[in-house]
Amino acid sequence: MVFLCALSAVWARGFTVREGVAQVRAMDAGRALDASAAVEAHDDEGDEDEDPEEAAAPSRDAGVTETRDAGCVTVDRESHCCAPGQRWRNGACAGATTSCAPGSTHDDRGGCVRRVYDRDGGTSARLFAPAGVPVPATMVTVPGGVFRSGGRAVSVGPFAIDRREVTAAEWAVCARAGVCATAPDPYGAMRDAARAPMVNVSWSMAQRYCGFVGARLPTESEWELAARGLDGRRYPWGARAPTCSLARIAGCGDGALVVGATTAGASPFGLVDMAGNVAEWTLDGWAPRASRDDGRVVDDPVVGGGERRVVRGGSFLSGPDEVTVEARRGVDAREQRSDVGFRCVRGL
């Protein structure tokens, strides 16, 4: 537990965690919040009279002397971290987990176990049944599947992903709760700026917000499956070349639009802005794609660590070839760019 909290403290200071295995573990730890507060923060639903700062605070058991990050507490000088959605109560983590780490899935007791893949059938596209875990109304449940990505067959478990990018208004809730930092405002007097995608956040800042709502950043494979489905399309909407009615890309105007302005370009699962508007952080560290297919099904190949992280989807600065479902680039994890935002997932 002390080790996991140390990783959360590293994120809070803005450093990059280099060890891949440690990174994946850290995604599933150090993010404890009251589930009702998480839904309120992310969905703008629930009791309007509830104080967001009070709802976001970890439980205050006797002996709690300090709180750290979004979900670690120190009791009698010993640190404890819980999984997303859980809280530290009476000497143990309590409550159901709202998000599992990549490679894990929910069990019937509200916890997470290592996922076992069905390898029968080779590399053909197929879907896994999603778990019966409730998700916020602003998220879309994506049944996992096997699909071709970068010349390989990749297996991804079921997950829930935000229908659209996290907005400036949602970030403000996290900032008022004292969990997220106040980022530079890129929109100024823009009309409906609260509904614009949150940008100017580093990779670790995005991770911290996702932890605040009981979620995490999507893996690169989860993001791509949500963007393209299983039919091998080139863009989220199909094979048709991008137009300004399908995606906010270079030549369509200056800056980002409010989220969901180009619904005609939605993905097969109904996600908007998966091409253009702003690019999106993913969990993975940057690494070149495999040069050839060896015929094996690869279990969601999360790449951890490194100074650069993968961003997907392209932005209002991107050309048509930079907003395909396979387009990817590496960005320094410490950068806070006006053309990079994010959305969150919950592993089911």
pLDDT digit string (tens) for 209-257? 999 998 999 999 999 999 999 888 999 999 999 999 999 999 999 999 9
The whole-number pLDDT of residue 307 equals 92
CA distance 253 to 225: 28
CA distance 210 to 162: 11
The whole-number pLDDT of residue 103 equals 64
Within 107-144, strands assigned E span 112-114, 126-127, 139-142
The whole-number pLDDT of residue 294 equals 67
Q: At residue 207, what is the residue type?
A: Q
- The tokens describing 148, both together, are 């071709």
Residue 328 near residue 287 (C-beta atoms within 8 A): no
pLDDT digits (tens, 9 = 90+) for 286-303: 988 765 666 677 777 788
- The tokens describing 244, both together, are 């300004």
The whole-number pLDDT of residue 151 equals 78
pTM score of the predicted model: 0.70
CA distance 272 to 276: 10
Please list the ranges in the chain whose pLDDT falls under 50. 1-70, 117-124
Residue 315 backbone dihedrals phi, psi, to 5 degrees = -145, -170
Report the candidate in 55, 88, 54 with the shortest Cα–Cα distance to residue 71: 88
CA distance 214 to 50: 18
